[in-house]
Structure 1
Amino acid sequence: MEDVLRPIYQERASNKDTLGILLIEKKKSESPVTDNLDAILFIVTKTTETSLFIKQYEYENERAALYMASEQQMSEWIMNGTNRRIIDWILNGKVLFDRNEYMENLKKRLIDFPREDRTKRIGVEFAKLIRRFKEGKDFYASNHYLDAFNHVIHALHHLARLSVLENGFHPEVTVWNQVKKIEPEIHRLYEELIISQEEVSKRLELLFLASEFLVNKKTELGAKHLVHIMKSEKQEWTFNELVHHPEIRPYAIDLGILLEFLIEKDIIMVKKVETKGKSLYHRHYVAK
């Protein structure tokens, strides 16, 4: 398939905007990594008109796709964990073109997983965890047990990924194999939720109790990224300033519920600032 795709990637390689080109080939009969196509040509560019451009091809009985993503889009996928295949592509794909060793350095950075990258990714996962956990508890309190069950499953997945990240690894698609070795306690909770013969409501009751302990245990770790930014740049922040901060943007959608949780845990405090309205105050946030 590489020979068939060569004219396509050679044309792209000649573009000065192209940073690197990878070839990912199908290795199993069922291959979600390649969307069951025979090959993926993944091109990273400095900029593109759109953040992601996809084109599909067919040659005789073989199928392939061209994925062209901007450097920014790829970074967002990696940081937000919204496209976990991308890590597989970078680590295991065949390098066809590499401008100034861009792909090699990117692969090395993924393997080394520097502390600053890990801390930010932990912040993203923790914010998602709090969102799912709080919404799950709300559904449970309203007797919507199946909706609560769904949210707890997602919360446990975020907790699992948090554990993997804490130990210096990228969460894989098969994250539960990783967690079973790293933090068996979380794996047992997941098994109890899935396998237990108890009624759903009873399972959830026990899971919320156990999960709350683990969430509290991870709170300082999960808040580290946000607290560091707040302390290092200025003393107090408005919500709008925080939500538009480029480092916080990956978890901006969950920032509100995260802040309230951290206020409950006495990690962040609220400072009231007078407005022109009587007894009406602006809320400013200060990291303790």
Structure 2
Amino acid sequence: MRDILRPIYQERASLPNTLSVLYIEKKPDEDAATNLFDAILFIIVKEQDQPLYVKHYRYEDKKAALYVVAENQLKEWMLYGTNSNIFEWITEGLILFDRNEYMARLKDEVRDFPFHERKVKIGTEFAKLIRRYLNGKDFFKQRQYLDAYNHIIHALHHLARLAVIENGFHPEITVWNQVKQIDLQIFKLYEELVTSEESLEKRLELLFLASEFHIYSKTSFGAQHLLELMEEREEWTIDELLFHPGLQSYSIDLPVLLEFLIEKNMIEEITVPTKGPEIFHRRYRIPKKQ
């Protein structure tokens, strides 16, 4: 398939804007990594009008896809984890063209997993974990067991990703296979939830009891990035936090995380008078050390 695609990638490689070209071929019985295609051409360019450009090809009984991605979009995927395939493509992909060893250095960066990038990912996953977990508990209290199940499955997935990142690895598509090797207790929580013959209500009840320790024991670790950022100033409004460049990956999960950390006395709420009687602005700060 690579030879068939040669004219396509050679044309792209000749352009001065092209940084690197990767070739990813489907492995036997593994369709997910290549989005059900037989081969992927993944091309990184310095810049282009749209962040991502995609084309699909057919050759006899084979399918191929071309992805041309701007460098800033690639960096966003890597930082925020919004493209679950990207790390496998980078680590497993065959380099067909590499201007100034761009991809060779990127492969090293992915393998080394820089500390700052790791902290951002940990904070993001922890924020998602807390929102899903608390939503799941709320639905459970309302006896909305299917909705509770949906949220707790997502919470466990974020807990699994957190464990993988904590151990210095990038989460892959097959994250549960990774977690089975890294943290068997978390894997067993997931396994028990999806395979137990107990009623759904009982499974959820046991899961909430068992997972609470795992979640709360990771609070200081998971909140480290946010707490360190908040130490830069005396106090913050919610708007200042939501739109801080360093917290863009937290998105809608940030307000819930703030409330959770206030309950744990790790963040302090302060009130500022408004023009209205008995109505106050809420602001947030790291508690002052005694």
TM-score (norm 1): 0.95
Shift, 1:92, TM fit: 0.6
CA distance in 2, matches of 1:80, 1:199: 36
CA distance in 2, matches of 1:27, 1:167: 26
Corresponding residue number in structure 2 for 1:178: 178
2:214 is matched by which residue type in structure 1? L
Corresponding residue number in structure 2 for 1:68: 68
SS of 2:246's equivalent? coil
SS of 2:180's equivalent? helix
Cα RMSD of the aligned pairs, angstroms, is: 1.5
1:1-288 mapped onto 2 (5 Å cutoff): 1-231=1-231, 233-288=232-287
CA distance in 1, matches of 2:70, 2:286: 34
SS of 1:24's equivalent? strand
Any conservation in 2 of the 1:53–1:68 contact (CA below 8 Å)?
yes
CA distance in 2, matches of 1:189, 1:51: 39
Any conservation in 1 of the 2:33–2:173 contact (CA below 8 Å)?
no
CA distance in 2, matches of 1:197, 1:265: 35
Shift, 1:62, TM fit: 2.4
1:211-239 alpha-carbon deviations (Å, 9 max, x no partner): 111111011111011111111x3221111
Length, aligned pairs only = 287
CA distance in 1, matches of 2:230, 2:194: 39
Shift, 1:77, TM fit: 2.0
SS of 2:72's equivalent? helix
Any conservation in 1 of the 2:273–2:281 contact (CA below 8 Å)?
yes
1:63 is matched by which residue type in structure 2? K
Any conservation in 2 of the 1:76–1:250 contact (CA below 8 Å)?
no
1:280 is matched by which residue type in structure 2? I
CA distance in 2, matches of 1:30, 1:159: 25
CA distance in 1, matches of 2:242, 2:112: 29
Structure 1 unmatched runs, 5+: none
Any conservation in 2 of the 1:21–1:44 contact (CA below 8 Å)?
yes
Shift, 1:181, TM fit: 2.6
SS of 2:250's equivalent? helix
Identical aligned residues as a percent: 57
Which moves more between the two structures, 177-186 or 34-43?
177-186
Any conservation in 2 of the 1:196–1:203 contact (CA below 8 Å)?
yes
Structure 2 unmatched runs, 5+: none
Shift, 1:83, TM fit: 1.7
CA distance in 2, matches of 1:63, 1:190: 35
1:93-151 alpha-carbon deviations (Å, 9 max, x no partner): 01111122111111111101111111111111111101110111111111110111111
CA distance in 2, matches of 1:29, 1:203: 32
CA distance in 1, matches of 2:143, 2:168: 38
CA distance in 1, matches of 2:115, 2:88: 20
1:191 is matched by which residue type in structure 2? E
CA distance in 1, matches of 2:130, 2:72: 26
Which moves more between the two structures, 2-11 or 219-228?
2-11
SS of 1:177's equivalent? helix
CA distance in 2, matches of 1:6, 1:99: 17
Shift, 1:29, TM fit: 4.7
1:30-63 alpha-carbon deviations (Å, 9 max, x no partner): 5221122221110112222111111011223322
Shift, 1:66, TM fit: 0.6
TM-score (norm 2): 0.94
Any conservation in 2 of the 1:139–1:148 contact (CA below 8 Å)?
yes
